[in-house]
Structure 1
Amino acid sequence: MYYEQRNIFFKYEIRDWKTWGDVFQSVSIFEPLIKRIFEIEQIPFGKIENTKPGTHGVFKVGKYIVKIFAPKASEYDSTSAYETEIKAMDIAHKLDILVPKMIAKGSVDDKYEFNYLIMEYIDGITIGDIKSSLSSDQKYIIGKKIKWIVDRFSKSSEHINEIEVINRTLASDKWMDCPKDIKDMQTLFLNQIKDEKRVFVHGDLTEDNIIITPNFDIYILDFADAVSAPKIYEYMPLIADAFSFDKDFIRGFFGDINIHELATLCLHGILVHEYGFQSIKQLFTDVIDVKTLKEQIYFAMGKV
């Protein structure tokens, strides 16, 4: 599966999503290509280290982060994600939201054509790695700060890409296996909000995409899923993943919200999100209908 071809720096054969998944975190396979990219951009090269796995190849290189997007040979065209991330980071920067500084962007024509971004490395800890050690007051403060960020996002109605989230979710094969009455509820709800104002949303505010610095500044990472959508689109990954239904984060973000309002926001956030049903399967067990879904949401939020 390896090729000895002059001037080819990436020598692994990618045939589909599985073969991309086999190597996208491999330092040894990506190192020659990354060295070539840093040479092209005239950026000092350093030690390559893995970061948290995602969809694309993301590595720490000295004081930088390099993100190499999946090539078309993976059977996933990441061009839109690449263009979206560039535009969305620029919008966030204009909104005074802390994001990594963009150092370089481009495309390298190697064995495959790879789009890439080089950004500054942020010295901090993901909210996922730190939340179990935070005090109630610290969680409350972080929740308030993230609320400010989400509200700033929603100040922008700038068009990001051509994605229409309501239609995408309704047509998504990721919802294909969900129980019929949940799908019926989703269809009804999404048709009710189809004319709601579209605002800038990050779309993937999970525990791995929120960085807390030693000074308790908050940086937001990975804007490849940013989109124009109803504001509620932001809530599902935030409540369920970043906050893990924790009462102190939630109180900081939503204020003194009662459990019924919160459960409704969580349910609607799940229904509107393309990955909502995947989240149901990861978060809950034995969800066979709307009734059991609501019961499990309430159970998860029993601490609120």
Structure 2
Amino acid sequence: MNLFTAEINGWSSWGKVFQSISTFKPLIRHIFAEENLPLSKIERCTPGTHAVFRVGDYVIKIFAPEESGFDGTVDFETEVFAMQRATMLGVSVPKLMTCGALQVQYRFSYLIMEYKSGIEFNKLSPTLTFEQKVAIGQRLRVITNTLNQPCDAFNQIDVIHGENRQQRWEKYAERFKRERLDYISSHDFGEKVFVHGDLNGDNILLSPEKELTIIDFADAVLAPAVYEQALIVCELFQFNKAYMQGYFGDYTVDAITDLCFNGLLIHDFGGDIIEQRVGPVDQINSLEALHRCLYLCIKYTQTFKGPYEA
């Protein structure tokens, strides 16, 4: 029996099937049988880069094969390392049950973890009080302080100088791109530590008691702490003062502006986050313009969309 019949020959072909239960059902059934785990109803999970499904008390994550144009091997190895490290440090993450790889028509790496109930941060956030948001910010700071510590290298990703990490900046003005490269080549961003890398609203689950569980470690890297914190401020908190008060304590707008400025310029998702949360690409045509827009977003807790000429 052929366990996987879809054809994968590029990213668009993977995008058409990676959420398809019918496409992955034979493969999932086989993996669960091989791992001696009970098979239950297969349900989709929040879509990302890889194929993720809930199967009863478990979640299986099947990583994109190299034929997709995105070799998921690095993500797989990173996530296994990161989940084991987080568990060892006492951070609430899904328990990793097993992991492996299966060669069928394509080679699929996979991991199976326990299913953790909870509501995604971005879905619950609008219902929370100021005080609850402060408390959540405080709890998240404890978690990131625990995670964001030096550790041995676990992948070969260079967050600052990696040539393949420039694609999301191509849409920016030549002046901006030139200034950015000059800046990140000469600026001291501080010690590199372990960072989750993608603490957005889909990757934090809240229990009824508002305890936090962290999921999806595939984008973990060694990077300066501002890499983590900038995404938290701009993407997760979206400049909300209650969250920032809880996370940073007594902070100044100037200090958080500098933190976000430095963190976004080296973040793999920085170019997209700026466009989605800070302001239009055509208005952010220099580093000075970016710094000014960030300052206004943080000061007024809103995306800045007005004209600004550096």
Sort the TM-score into its range (normalised by shorter chain). Answer: over 0.9
RMSD: 1.7
Pick the aligned partner of 1:100 from 94, 103, 123: 94
Q: Secondary structure at the match of 2:13?
A: helix
Letter in 2 for 1:298: Y
Q: Secondary structure at the match of 2:80?
A: helix
The residue aligned with 1:4 is none
The alignment of Structure 1 onto Structure 2 pairs a total of residues equal to 298
Would you say the 8 A contact 2:160–2:266 is kept in 1? yes
Q: CA deviation at 1:300?
A: 2.4
Q: Secondary structure at the match of 1:302?
A: helix
**Structure 1, residues 67-105: CA drift from partner, whole Å, max 9, x if none?**
000011101111111001101111111211111100110
Aligned-partner Cα distance in 1 for 2:224–2:289: 26
**Structure 1, residues 106-158: CA drift from partner, whole Å, max 9, x if none?**
11111211100100111101111110001111110111111111111123322
Which aligned segments of 4 or more residues in structure 1 are displaced greater than 4 angstroms?
Answer: none
Aligned-partner Cα distance in 2 for 1:241–1:255: 19
Pick the aligned partner of 1:298 from 291, 295, 299: 295
Mapping for residues 252-291 of structure 1, pairs under 5 Å: 252-283=246-277, 284-285=279-280, 286-290=282-286, 291=288
Would you say the 8 A contact 1:166–1:194 is kept in 2? no
Would you say the 8 A contact 2:42–2:54 is kept in 1? yes
2:27 is the counterpart of 1:33: yes
Q: 1:206 to 1:171 in 2, by over 3 A?
A: closer
Q: 1:161 to 1:194 in 2, by over 3 A?
A: farther
**Structure 1, residues 233-278: CA drift from partner, whole Å, max 9, x if none?**
1123211111111111111111111112111211111101122112
Q: Report the more deviating stretch, 131-140 or 188-197.
A: 188-197
User: What TM-score do the two structures reach when normalised by structure 1?
Assistant: 0.93
Would you say the 8 A contact 1:169–1:274 is kept in 2? no
Letter in 2 for 1:234: E
Pick the aligned partner of 2:64 from 70, 75, 86: 70
The residue aligned with 1:241 is 235
Q: 1:136 to 1:92 in 2, by over 3 A?
A: same
Would you say the 8 A contact 2:233–2:239 is kept in 1? yes
Would you say the 8 A contact 1:246–1:303 is kept in 2? no
Would you say the 8 A contact 1:160–1:226 is kept in 2? no
Would you say the 8 A contact 1:126–1:209 is kept in 2? yes
Aligned-partner Cα distance in 2 for 1:126–1:213: 9
Q: 1:181 to 1:255 in 2, by over 3 A?
A: farther
Q: 1:196 to 1:229 in 2, by over 3 A?
A: same
Which consecutive residues of structure 1, in runs of 5 or more, have no partner in the other structure?
1-6
Which consecutive residues of structure 2, in runs of 5 or more, have no partner in the other structure?
302-310
Aligned-partner Cα distance in 1 for 2:214–2:260: 21
Mapping for residues 89-238 of structure 1, pairs under 5 Å: 89-168=83-162, 172-193=166-187, 196-238=190-232
Q: CA deviation at 1:181?
A: 3.3
Q: Secondary structure at the match of 2:291?
A: helix
Q: 1:288 to 1:154 in 2, by over 3 A?
A: closer
Aligned-partner Cα distance in 2 for 1:142–1:198: 25
User: What TM-score do the two structures reach when normalised by structure 2?
Assistant: 0.91
Aligned-partner Cα distance in 2 for 1:206–1:176: 23
Would you say the 8 A contact 1:108–1:115 is kept in 2? yes
Q: Report the more deviating stretch, 115-124 or 289-298.
A: 289-298
Would you say the 8 A contact 2:283–2:289 is kept in 1? yes
Aligned-partner Cα distance in 2 for 1:125–1:31: 26
